Structure 1
Amino acid sequence: MSSSNIRDLQRELENKANDLSKLQKDIAKNHQVRKKYTIQLGENELVLKELDLLKEDANVYKLIGPVLVKQDLAEANANVRKRIEYISAELKRLDSTVQDLEEKQNSKKETLLDWPLTLQHIAGPMFYLG
């Protein structure tokens, strides 16, 4: 086997390892975003429970920047419900994305695990990984 063939194989192996590393970073990033949305979902569900405890004539205020603005209870309730819907949809999307990424990651791992056999097949019995 020529040295250029070995270099090509080495480059290919490095590319596969880099692809796997990128997928792992994407999965970690996805988990961080998912964690943030899960916290927001919990906070919004708590706000909704609090809003449900209020009487119809209760004063509700929304914080906009440094100012508290009076808001209708029904409007506040609707806004929180829409936010919960949005966050739930984002969590479903993130779950789907991470599932796809993990499938790709597993495929890349299998390819890398098969790599020594590929090299042995190409290089012949003289090639030894040890």
Structure 2
Amino acid sequence: MATLQQLSDEYTDLQKKLQEVIEARQRLDAQLSENKAVQKEFASLDSDANIYKLIGPTLIKQEKSEAIMNVDKRLDFIEKEIKRIEGQITEFSEISEKKKGEIMQLQMQSQAQGQS
């Protein structure tokens, strides 16, 4: 049977993992917003507009259709990552709640034994 300390350590571990995936989700949200802004900007450009991509310290000219395709692919990837991360958040939250329940149950058992 797991001790209170073991359960507490496992719970703390789960909370750290949960915090990490929440932070990853927040970063993805920021990337999603940035890329949607770029997509919106591309939509307002003329078809013959010059688009440059920053690669290292150099700006490289890029075709508008290629730039649009790259942003669309990036948005698709980010949205899939968000779904994956949300699944992890749900999973870690559920496991964490179960662990919290086990800790509370063990504490109540411990208190009951102390009173008898």
Specify the TM-score bucket, using the shorter chain as the normaliser. Answer: over 0.9
Aligned counterparts of 2:22 and 2:77: Cα–Cα separation in 1: 18
Matched, 1:73 2:68: no
Q: Which residue of 2 aligns with 1:23?
A: 14
SS of residue matched to 1:56: coil
Q: CA offsets, 1:10-63, max 9 Å, x none? A: x71101000000000001111111111100000000000000111111110000
Q: Which residue of 1 aligns with 2:100?
A: 109
Matched, 1:49 2:40: yes
Aligned counterparts of 1:23 and 1:53: Cα–Cα separation in 2: 45
- Structure 1 residue ranges, 4+ long, deviating more than 3 angstroms after superposition: none
Task: Give the RMSD, CA atoms, in angstroms.
Answer: 1.5
Q: CA offsets, 1:48-98, max 9 Å, x none? A: 000011111111000001100000000000000000000010001000000
TM-score, normalization by structure 1: 0.84
Aligned counterparts of 2:56 and 2:47: Cα–Cα separation in 1: 26
Runs (5+) with no aligned partner, structure 1: 1-8
TM-score, normalization by structure 2: 0.93
| Bigger Rg, which one | 1
Higher RCO (C-alpha 8 Å, min separation 6):
2
Identity in percent: 34
